[in-house]
C-alpha cells in the first residue's frame, strides 16, 4: 500500500476513489497505538442530505438548507409535503451559513415557491444578459414563508 502521511486530503481521497462496488483496504494507524488496523471498504456513491426539516410548533415548519446541491429542490419539496401533512400552516426556511452551491439547484429550489417563468436570478456580463426563470408548474403557495439569511 501507499502511505498518505505526507499527502494532502485531496491526494489521499484521489488514491481511495475508484469504481462503485469495488473494494479498497485502508490500513489505519492511530496516534498512541502501535498496531495498525485494516478496514475493507466497498466504494459507493455517498448521498449528502443538505435539507433538514421539522415542526417547531403545531403549525410552523422549519427547514434548514445547508447548501444548494444536486437534488436539493427535490429534497426540499419532499420536506414541505411532509411538514404540510403534519399540519404546517407557515414555514421558516433557514439559509444562514448556506455557502451557496450549484446555481441551477438554487433556481430549482426557488422555483418551488414562484410561478412558472418568474425571474429567479439574472446575470449581466460585459456582452450578454442571462435570466434564470422558475421552472415549476405547481409551486407551493398559500402559506406565509420567512427566509432567514
Percentage of the chain modeled with pLDDT above 70 = 100
The pLDDT assigned to 101 comes to: 86
pLDDT in tens, 98-128: 998 888 889 999 989 888 888 988 988 888 8
DSSP state of 82: H
Q: CA-CA distance, 75 to 64, in Å (whole number)?
A: 11
Sign for the pseudo-dihedral over CA of 44, 45, 48, 54: negative
Rg of the chain taking only CA atoms, in angstroms: 22
Structural domains in the chain plus CATH codes:
9-42 (no CATH), 51-148 (3.90.226.10)
DSSP string, 69-116: -TTHHHHHHHHHHHHHHTT-SEEEEE-TT---B-HHHHHHHHHTTS-T
pTM above 0.75, yes or no: no
Is residue 96 within 8 A of residue 134, CB to CB? The reply is: no
Amino acid at each position: 500500500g501507499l502511505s498518505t502521511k505526507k499527502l494532502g486530503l485531496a491526494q489521499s481521497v484521489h488514491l481511495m476513489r475508484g469504481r462503485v462496488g469495488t473494494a479498497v483496504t485502508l490500513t489505519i494507524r492511530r496516534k498512541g497505538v502501535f498496531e495498525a488496523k485494516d478496514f475493507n471498504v466497498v466504494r459507493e456513491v455517498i448521498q449528502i442530505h443538505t435539507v433538514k426539516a421539522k415542526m417547531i410548533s403545531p403549525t410552523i415548519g422549519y427547514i434548514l438548507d445547508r447548501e444548494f446541491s444536486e437534488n436539493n429542490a427535490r429534497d426540499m419539496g419532499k420536506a414541505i409535503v411532509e411538514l404540510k401533512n403534519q399540519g404546517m400552516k407557515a414555514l421558516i426556511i433557514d439559509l444562514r451559513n448556506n455557502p451557496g452551491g450549484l446555481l441551477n439547484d438554487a433556481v430549482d429550489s426557488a422555483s418551488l415557491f414562484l410561478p412558472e417563468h418568474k425571474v429567479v436570478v439574472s446575470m449581466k456580463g460585459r456582452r450578454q444578459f442571462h435570466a434564470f426563470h422558475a421552472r415549476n408548474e405547481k409551486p407551493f403557495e398559500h402559506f406565509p414563508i420567512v427566509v432567514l439569511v
